[in-house]
């Protein structure tokens, strides 16, 4: 608490003793969370189900103000929805009446400064969305409707939608949870490539420890409700990481360690 | 392909079969036209009274359409209000359910006291009976919005109106159109009920006065006309529904 000197290496997201209680519920959903995420860092948050991971997301995006403590992003306190974030969830939540392209364009219709020039610059924005769809391997599907796409494709489109307004922070809430194992690993690599190309900060909430270790720089382990951060683990695997790394002993060690920590907090 | 054609012809075949059986019963058992007229005598009176029937049918049609139009506007407005605001939902919904349970024919005497005999009670009865399904459907469509999607949009700074306009309303369109099909047939019921009690025009009135002078074939002709009008409007809105909300009926696209 107290005054933080500016000379400390700038953190992009800063949680200081943050707790949140929902209306009409006893006790906190998350409690005393303090952490600091550097610009461009890839962070994963793992924990047993119901530990308040999604609450953490709501706090980081400004959708919920903390009951206690303070959240700041880019050095400024968060006191409302942040427009520099993109979000994706386990369900792709694409709008079935829009084509894939129009789904990806949706954030530009809402967030400033794109919103006010959307009609005028539509062609330019469409090019950008098509480029993005191409990088995730969806060229040729831009004018299809979501129900014509497979689950993995829908999730790719959903990630494009999260990125189209070039957010500085990407929040992912178990985005690959509903996919089969092969598709999931494909999308890990896709996310890895997008991240290393664009350099945004990522907060990935997941149950999947292998996913967390493969992708993240730092893994935070949360305890069961009320959610607290009980471990911060730096993943020292060299980058760029290839899927092969998931079969190395060191990778298994890290995963195993984390697994043990979570096993203990579940009891 | 053959199955498809047969399916398309099914309503006509069934109707034809029904008429044939009906005619056969009337002819074989020599049923009196005063009790249960045969399709043939009904058709005869349809032709014989074509002029007056058309006049009364037109009256019923336009009063129904006006009542229905008001019902759509009010139903949409209430549906949006209930679907977007918990407060309105809590406050208004029980009242609406209670109101919906009252037989609308009970309102006709009141409307007659207020507005006299004629078209106004018929229009209002059609409105009162037809708006409720629209309210429920629109509100349901809005209330089933995925919370995640709302989070995505809100985190981008979307206003409540943005969310309603970009997501809520398009989402509830299939529900809305489905309710129009139900509501238009209800509106016909409202109009005819009101006309039989309190009007000197319209199919309802025609049937009432034909009945009191024992012209049963004409009464049945009136029934047939109402049925045909309601069915035609139902089909119109079904077509409109498929056109406007193709995405919600993707099963039948191919």
**Which structural domains are found in chain B, ordered by start?**
58-245 (1.10.3720.10)
Is it the case that residue A21 has pLDDT exceeding 50? yes
* Rounded distance between C-alpha atoms, residue A23 and residue A82, angstroms: 22
Note whether B157 contacts A112, CB cutoff 8 Å: yes
Q: What is the predicted pLDDT for the residue at A1?
A: 41
Q: How many residues does chain B have?
A: 254
What's the pTM?
A: 0.79
Domains parsed from chain A with CATH numbers = 9-84+169-180+200-267 (3.40.50.300), 92-167 (no CATH)
Is the minimum CB–CB distance between A173 and chain B shorter than 8 Å? yes
Q: What is the predicted pLDDT for the residue at B228?
A: 94
Asked whether the ipTM of the predicted complex exceeds the cut of 0.95, the reply is no
Task: Tell me which chain B residue has its CA closest to the CA of residue A147.
Answer: B250
Note whether A85 contacts B154, CB cutoff 8 Å: no
Q: What is the predicted pLDDT for the residue at B69?
A: 97
Q: What is the predicted pLDDT for the residue at B2?
A: 59
Of A100-114, A135-149, A223-237, B59-73, the poorest mean pLDDT is in A223-237
Q: What is the dihedral of CA A208, A213, A218, A220, to 10 degrees?
A: 30
Q: What is the predicted pLDDT for the residue at A76?
A: 84
pLDDT average, residue stretch B184-200: 92
Place of tokens 């009274």: B49
pLDDT average, residue stretch B201-214: 92
pLDDT average, residue stretch A110-126: 87
Partner residue opposite B157 with nearest CB, options A91, A111, A147: A111
Is the minimum CB–CB distance between B153 and chain A shorter than 8 Å? yes
Q: Which residues of A touch B158 (CB under 8 A)?
A: 110
Task: Tell me which chain B residue has its CA closest to the CA of residue A58.
Answer: B151
Angle at A140 between CA A138 and CA A141, to 5 degrees: 60
pLDDT average, residue stretch A200-223: 91
Q: What is the predicted pLDDT for the residue at B132?
A: 93
Report the percent of chain A where pLDDT is more than 70: 96
Is it the case that residue B1 has pLDDT exceeding 90? no
What is the end-to-end Cα distance of chain B in Å, rounded? 14
Position A5 confidence tier, pLDDT thresholds 50, 70, 90: very low
Note whether A97 contacts B158, CB cutoff 8 Å: no
Helix intervals (H) in A6-119 = 53-60, 100-110, 114-117
Q: What is the predicted pLDDT for the residue at A6?
A: 46
Q: Which residues of B touch A112 (CB under 8 A)?
A: 157
Of A228-237, B107-116, B143-152, B242-251, the poorest mean pLDDT is in B242-251
Is it the case that residue A2 has pLDDT exceeding 80? no
Is it the case that residue B254 has pLDDT exceeding 70? no
Helices then strands (H, E): number in chain B? 11, 0
B positions 202-241 inside 8 Å of A (CB) = none
Q: What is the predicted pLDDT for the residue at A22?
A: 83
Dig out the tokens for A77 from the structure: 């306190």
Of residues A114 and B82, the one with the higher pLDDT is: B82
pLDDT average, residue stretch A70-84: 85
Q: Which residues of A touch B151 (CB under 8 A)?
A: 58, 61, 63, 87
Of A53-62, A104-113, A153-162, B83-92, the poorest mean pLDDT is in A53-62
* Rounded distance between C-alpha atoms, residue B108 and residue A225, angstroms: 59
Note whether B157 contacts A110, CB cutoff 8 Å: yes
Task: Tell me which chain B residue has its CA closest to the CA of residue A96.
Answer: B247
Is the minimum CB–CB distance between A145 and chain B shorter than 8 Å? yes
Q: What is the predicted pLDDT for the residue at A26?
A: 73
Partner residue opposite B162 with nearest CB, options A61, A87, A110: A110
pLDDT average, residue stretch B229-241: 92
Position B251 confidence tier, pLDDT thresholds 50, 70, 90: low
Q: At what angle do helices B203-212 and B50-84 cross, to 10 degrees?
A: 130
Of B80-89, B144-153, B175-184, B211-220, the poorest mean pLDDT is in B144-153
Is the minimum CB–CB distance between A167 and chain B shorter than 8 Å? no
């Amino acid at each position: 608490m107290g005054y933080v000197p500016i000379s400390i290496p700038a953190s992009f997201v800063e949680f200081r003793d943050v707790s949140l209680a929902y209306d009409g519920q006893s006790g906190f959903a998350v409690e005393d969370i303090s952490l600091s995420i550097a610009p461009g860092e890839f962070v994963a948050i793992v924990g047993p189900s119901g530990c308040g991971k999604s609450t953490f997301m709501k706090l980081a995006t400004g959708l919920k103000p903390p009951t206690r403590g303070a959240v700041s992003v880019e050095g400024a306190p968060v006191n409302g929805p942040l427009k520099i974030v993109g979000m994706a969830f386990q369900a792709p939540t694409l709008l079935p009446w829009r084509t894939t392209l129009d789904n990806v364009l949706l954030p530009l219709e809402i967030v400033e400064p794109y919103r006010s020039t959307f009609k005028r610059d539509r062609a330019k924005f469409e090019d950008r969305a098509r480029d993005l769809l191409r990088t995730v391997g969806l060229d040729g599907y831009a004018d299809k409707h979501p129900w014509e796409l497979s689950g993995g494709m829908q999730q790719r489109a959903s990630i494009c939608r999260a990125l189209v307004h070039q957010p500085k922070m990407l929040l992912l809430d178990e985005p690959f949870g509903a996919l089969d194992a092969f598709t999931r690993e494909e999308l890990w690599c896709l996310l890895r490539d997008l991240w290393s190309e664009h350099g945004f900060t990522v907060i990935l909430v997941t149950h999947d420890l292998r996913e967390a270790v493969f992708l993240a720089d730092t893994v935070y382990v949360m305890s069961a409700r009320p959610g607290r951060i009980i471990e911060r683990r730096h993943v020292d695997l060299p980058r760029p990481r290839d899927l092969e790394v998931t079969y190395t002993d060191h990778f298994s060690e890290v995963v195993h360690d984390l697994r043990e920590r979570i096993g203990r907090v579940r009891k | 392909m053959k199955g498809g054609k047969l399916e398309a012809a099914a309503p006509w075949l069934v109707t034809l079969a029904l008429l044939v059986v009906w005619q056969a019963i009337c002819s074989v058992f020599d049923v009196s036209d005063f009790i249960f007229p045969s399709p043939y005598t009904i058709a005869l009176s349809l032709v014989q009274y074509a002029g007056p029937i058309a006049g009364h049918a037109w009256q019923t049609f336009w009063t129904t359409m006006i009542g229905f139009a008001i019902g759509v506007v009010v139903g949409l407005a209430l549906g949006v209000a209930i679907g977007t605001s918990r407060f309105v939902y809590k406050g208004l919904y029980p009242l609406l359910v209670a109101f919906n349970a009252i037989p609308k024919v009970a309102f006709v005497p009141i409307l007659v006291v207020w507005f006299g005999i004629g078209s106004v009670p018929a229009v209002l009865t059609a409105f009162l009976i037809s708006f409720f399904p629209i309210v429920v459907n629109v509100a349901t469509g809005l209330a089933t919005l995925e919370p995640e999607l709302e989070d995505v949009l809100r985190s981008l700074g979307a206003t409540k109106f943005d969310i309603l306009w970009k997501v809520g309303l398009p989402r509830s369109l299939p529900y809305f159109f489905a309710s129009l099909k139900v509501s238009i047939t209800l509106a016909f019921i409202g109009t005819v009920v009101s006309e039989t009690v309190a009007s000197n025009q319209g199919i309802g009135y025609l049937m009432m006065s034909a009945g009191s002078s024992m012209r049963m074939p004409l009464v049945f002709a009136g029934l047939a006309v109402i049925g045909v009008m309601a069915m035609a409007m139902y089909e119109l809105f079904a077509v409109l529904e498929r056109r406007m909300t193709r995405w919600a009926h993707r099963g039948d696209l191919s």
